[in-house]
Amino acid sequence: MTETAMQRDRAATIFEKGKPGRRAFTPPAVDVPERPLDELIPRALRRKQPARLPELSEPEIVRHYVKLSRRNFDLDTGFYPLGSCTMKHNPRLHERVAGLAGHARLHPHQDPARAQGALALMWNLERALAEIAGLPHVSLQPSAGSHGELAGVLLTRAYHADRGEQRRTVLTPDTAHGTNPATVTMAGYEVVKVGTNADGGVDLDDLRAKADAQTACLMLTNPNTLGLFDPNIEEIVRIVHEAGATAYYDGANLNAIMGISRPGDMGFDIVHFNLHKSFTQPHGGGGPGSGPIAVSATLAPFLPQPVIVRHGGEESNGSHREFDLDFDRPKSIGRLRGFQGNYGCFVRAYAYICSLGATGLRDASEIAVLNANYLLARLRQLGVTELLPPAYDRICMHEFALSGAPMKRELGIRTLDLAKRLLDHGYHPPTVYFPLLVEEALLVEPTETETKETLDAFAQAIAEILSEARADPEIARGAPYTTPVRRLDEAGAAKQPVLRQAL
C-alpha cells in the first residue's frame, strides 16, 4: 500500500469503506415457513428507506476497529496512573465469568421466576457491599459514581421531606470532585463550600460555621481528592448530624480502605461505590459503569425501587422462587433507570470480591497505599520533588497530589507539558489541574496492580523529562511527538470533535 493509500484508509470512516451489497456473514437458508412481513411488523412501524448501514466484509470490519483501537492509549498497553480514576488491571477471569451464556445472554426483561440465579448474584453482591461499607441496605441501580451521588442526595431530600422539613443547602469541601457540586445542583440544592485546613483535611471551624438548620447533607470523599485520610472524620460527621443533616460518603476512593475502615463505622448514612474503579471493570469511553449505594436503616425506605427481596421457601404452587423484585415501596424515590443496573459490572465485581475474599480486599488496599507512598518516596530520591513538591507533605493513601508551580517557575514548563511528554515515554499522564486548589496540580494514582519495576521506570521518566527541560524546555513544550494526534484544542475537541484525520 502506498503511503497515500494508507493515509486515505486511516482518514475514512466505516461508512466510506466497503461496497454496496458486501456482507460479513451469509445466513443459512430459512428452514421454517416464511410469514408475510406485514404480519410480523405492521407497515406503519416499518422504515420507509432501508437503514444506511456500512456494508463490509468481516476482515474489513476487524481491521477498521483494530486500527482505531491502536490509536488510543489503554491500560493493556501501558501504565495509567490517572489520579482519582483507579485505572487498575481488570483480571481476565472476570471476563470469562461475565461472558458465560447464563449471564451474558440473560434478557433484562426476563421474568424474575426465570432469573433466580441473576437475582441471587445481585443479592449476594448487595450483602458483600453492605459488609464492606458497614451500612446494611444496598441498591445496585445507579450506573456511575455520579448517578449514585444523585441517588444519595435524592434520598436525603426524601428523608427530610418525610420529616416535614425542607432544607436548602449541601456542604462540600473545596477539594470535592466536580461531580459532587454538580449533583447538588441537579438535585435542586445550593452548594456551600467548606475550606481545607493546613493538613489538607476539612477546616472544622469553617464546617461548624456553615452546618446549620438549612444544611440537608455533607458530601465528603475520604481519603479526599488530595489522597489524604481525614483524621477528624468522626468529629466531622458529629457536627453534620448535630445540624440534623445526612452524611454522604463519596466512595470513589474506596480503593484505599477496602477491608480496613468502613464509612458506616465512621458514622456516614449513605455511601456510593464505583464498581468500575475499586471493583475492577474496564472503564473509559463513558461506560458502562456502576455506582451502587449503601444506606443506613433510616434511609432504606427511600431507596430506588424495585428492591431485590429474598423470601426463601416454596411458592403456594410448589415452585421455588427465592428472590423477587419488590415494587411496593411507597416512600421510594422511584426508579433511577431502566432494568436493574449494568449487570455485567455486577458479575465482574462479585467475581472480584469472591476471588479475593476479605483478606484479599484488604491486601489490595494496603498495596495501593504502599505503591503510592513508594512512588512518592522514589520521586523524592530522584530529586523530582524539588520541582514537583507534594501539595501536602504527609503519608498519602492510594494517590498523591504534586504541585508543578516550582517547575513552571524554574524550568518554564507547565504540568501540561510534562503530561504530554510522558506520552512519548509510553505512559498515560496522571490527572492534571485537579484538585483545583493545588497550583499546576498533578494527581498520581499508581494502583496496587503495578510492579515495583513499573513504578521505578515511571519515576525515572519524570526525572529524565525534567533534566531534558533544564537543557531545552522547548522539547516538552512541543510534546507529544509519537502519538497519532499532537496537541489538541481540548475545549474545542469536546465541543466540535473532528472524528477523522489524515495522518
Ligand X SMILES: Cc1ncc(COP(=O)(O)O)c(C=O)c1O
Closest CA relative to residue 177, chosen from 83, 288, 283, 87? 83
**To which H or E segment does residue 420 belong?**
helix 415-424
**To which H or E segment does residue 351 belong?**
helix 343-381
Q: 308: which 3 cell numbers?
A: 431485590
Q: How far apart are CA 370 and CA 368, in angstroms?
A: 6
DSSP alpha helix (H) spans, 113-250: 116-133, 145-162, 179-186, 204-210, 233-242
Q: How far apart are CA 268 and CA 178, in angstroms?
A: 21
Q: How many CB atoms lie within 10 A of CB 65?
A: 11
Confirm if 372 and 143 have CB atoms less than 8 A apart. no
- Least Å from the CB of residue 442 to ligand X: 15
Name the 3-class secondary structure at 217.
Answer: strand
- Least Å from the CB of residue 106 to ligand X: 24
Choose between 83 and 480: whose C-beta lies nearer to ligand X.
83
Residue number of the CB closest to ligand X reads: 145
Choose between 84 and 365: whose C-beta lies nearer to ligand X.
84
- Least Å from the CB of residue 155 to ligand X: 17
Choose between 152 and 267: whose C-beta lies nearer to ligand X.
152
Orientation angle between helical segments 145-162 and 179-186, nearest 10 degrees = 40
Choose between 225 and 415: whose C-beta lies nearer to ligand X.
225
Confirm if 103 and 293 have CB atoms less than 8 A apart. no
- Least Å from the CB of residue 219 to ligand X: 9
Choose between 289 and 480: whose C-beta lies nearer to ligand X.
289
- Least Å from the CB of residue 178 to ligand X: 8
Q: How far apart are CA 378 and CA 371, in angstroms?
A: 10
Confirm if 416 and 435 have CB atoms less than 8 A apart. no
Choose between 177 and 420: whose C-beta lies nearer to ligand X.
177
- Least Å from the CB of residue 401 to ligand X: 13
Choose between 225 and 447: whose C-beta lies nearer to ligand X.
225
Choose between 201 and 480: whose C-beta lies nearer to ligand X.
201
Choose between 253 and 340: whose C-beta lies nearer to ligand X.
253
Choose between 90 and 225: whose C-beta lies nearer to ligand X.
225
Choose between 87 and 479: whose C-beta lies nearer to ligand X.
87
The two beta strands, 431-432 and 137-139, are unpaired
The two beta strands, 431-432 and 441-444, are antiparallel
Across the strands, what pairs with 221?
A: 250
- Least Å from the CB of residue 221 to ligand X: 5
- Least Å from the CB of residue 80 to ligand X: 13
Within 8 A by CB and 6+ apart from 350, the residues are: 121, 124, 125, 128
Confirm if 420 and 246 have CB atoms less than 8 A apart. no
Closest CA relative to residue 298, chosen from 128, 136, 130, 142? 136
Closest CA relative to residue 378, chosen from 443, 463, 273, 281? 463
Name the 3-class secondary structure at 221.
Answer: strand
- Least Å from the CB of residue 291 to ligand X: 5
- Least Å from the CB of residue 432 to ligand X: 14
Within 8 A by CB and 6+ apart from 318, the residues are: none
Grid look-up 469541601 returns: 173
Residues lying near ligand X in the complex (CB under 6 A): 84-85, 144-146, 177, 179, 221, 225, 250, 252-253, 274, 289, 291
Q: How far apart are CA 225 and CA 117, in angstroms?
A: 38
- Least Å from the CB of residue 472 to ligand X: 35
- Least Å from the CB of residue 359 to ligand X: 26
Choose between 250 and 448: whose C-beta lies nearer to ligand X.
250
